[in-house]
Chains A and B, each alone.
Chain A
Amino acid sequence: MSDNITAVVDYGVGNLFSLSSSLKAVGANAVITSDKEVIKASARVILPGVGAFADAYAKLCKAGLDALLSDCAGDGKPILGICLGMQLLFEKSYEYGCHRGLGLIPGEVVPLKGRIDVGLKVPHIGWNKLKYKSEEPAFKYISGTAYAYYVHSYFAETDERYITAVSEYGVSVTGAVRNGNVVGMQYHPEKSGDTGLLMLKAFCEEV
């Protein structure tokens, strides 16, 4: 665990400028990397991602990071998936077909379309209120009403016990999840103002 490093996995999916800036802002020692040794030696891992599920998962596998992330999860290393990065933590996704995911959290990723009122726009973009479990360690600095910034068209369906936060958008949209040391946030903490920064700060204190 050299220097309490938070490894941000860079696998060619999306832009990491805001995420790395926000981690810097909360005082984390963050390193953007695709280097397996760096990830292995890190204290915790963040898996970001925007774009399409299948493409992102293929890129992870191509870089040999799928097995590595499973090993990290098995070793008890804290892992945080953000947005598409969270969706990749689940067993499968129905985005353009049916695709396998990392399977670190039981459940599957399904489209909002068809599950919400046709009058509601997809993607679900904007600030939405969080209904959250206050005992969740990632929310230890959050109190009172909290809003998070979402941009997504698919969401995770999983057992109640893994869900730590939801937002209402026609259905109860899974906002955040936890399975032991594996955490996921559908919204973008790096774009959710002070609320998001406090969540990142809390995660970067997990060991």
Chain B
Amino acid sequence: MITKRIIPCLDVRDGRVVKGTNFENVKDVADPVEMARFYNKSGADELVFYDITATFDGRRIFTDVLKRVAGEVFIPLTVGGGINGLDDFDRVLKCGADKVSVNSGAVKNPRLIEDAAKLYGDQCVVLSMDVKRVGGKFHVFTRGGRDDIGIDAIEWAKAGEERGAGELVVNSIDTDGVRRGFDIEMLSAIAQVTSVPIIASGGAGNMRHFAELFKALPKVDAGLAAGIFHSGVVTIPSLKQYLSENGIEMRM
């Protein structure tokens, strides 16, 4: 059967990884290519790169970085950040991305999901959503979690799948950075209404949190994190070993 996936996320600004810290045997911890190499060796099942620059130059540097990563790391690569149209899909796919993640761009123009799915296939289109509790409901936020646009997250996840998103990255703003565990309640609400793979994001602080996630929500396919991997609080080989010992199928 398919293994659960462990996915480190790299935020890249001006060609450097933001929040890169503490790596054994990595000389330049902010170099995305070095980090990608490191994670590949550690057994990461996939890598997510977010382009968090907004400038033209920054974008050019990002695609350059992506090309270098795809030129030597041969596991699936998902790319997001600043994806607003089909030309953005084209730009990153040509540089070696396998999947493209849309967030604010899809909120502004939901047709982008179906247009991209038709052109590149469902498996290529990842809908990424930042979700926060507002008055007892789950709302979608855009612009990196700054703007509440008044869209219900459950409805948006359903609509995204109907339009052809092949996968959902669901990030909880409420648990993000808190390191007290994934937002099982919110993820469960979304898993109940969708059937595409869900990548859970936000809140992982230790290995147990990943085990809790996969045990509570068998429909969740992957756990994504940044800080705990970058800081070395959790290492991927020991995490996969731990999960495997707890009966969760891993690629070892």
Query: Which positions in A face B, CB cutoff 8 Å?
Result: 15, 17-18, 21-22, 24-25, 50-51, 121, 123-129, 145, 147, 149, 151, 168-169, 190-194, 196-197
Q: Are A191 and B75 in touch, CB under 8 angstroms?
A: yes
Task: Determine the residue in chain B with the shortest Cβ distance to A148.
Answer: B251
Give chain B's interface residue range (CB within 8 Å of chain A).
20 to 34
Q: How far is the CA of A126 from the CA of B166 in the complex (A)?
A: 12
Chain B contact surface mostly: loop
Chain A contact surface mostly: mixed
Q: Are B2 and A169 in touch, CB under 8 angstroms?
A: yes
Q: How far is the CA of A24 from the CA of B71 in the complex (A)?
A: 9
Q: How far is the CA of A152 from the CA of B171 in the complex (A)?
A: 26
For the complex of A and B, 3 pairs with smallest distance between CB atoms: A126-B2, A147-B251, A127-B251
Is B70 engaged at the interface, CB distance under 8 Å to the other chain? Answer: yes
Assuming A121-B196, A126-B221, is B74 touching A25 (CB within 8 A)? yes
Query: Within residues 204 to 252 of chain B, which ones have a CB less than 8 A from any CB in chain A?
Result: 221, 251-252
Q: How far is the CA of A194 from the CA of B72 in the complex (A)?
A: 11
Contacts of B75 in A (CB 8 A): 149, 191-193
Contacts of A129 in B (CB 8 A): 1, 3
Assuming A121-B195, A121-B197, A147-B251, is B2 touching A127 (CB within 8 A)? yes
Contacts of B251 in A (CB 8 A): 127, 147
Is B114 engaged at the interface, CB distance under 8 Å to the other chain? Answer: no
Contacts of B76 in A (CB 8 A): 149, 191
Is B123 engaged at the interface, CB distance under 8 Å to the other chain? Answer: yes
Q: Are B94 and A192 in touch, CB under 8 angstroms?
A: no
Query: Within residues 1 to 55 of chain B, which ones have a CB less than 8 A from any CB in chain A?
Result: 1-3, 5, 40, 45
Q: Are A191 and B3 in touch, CB under 8 angstroms?
A: no
**B190: min CB distance to chain A, Å:** 15
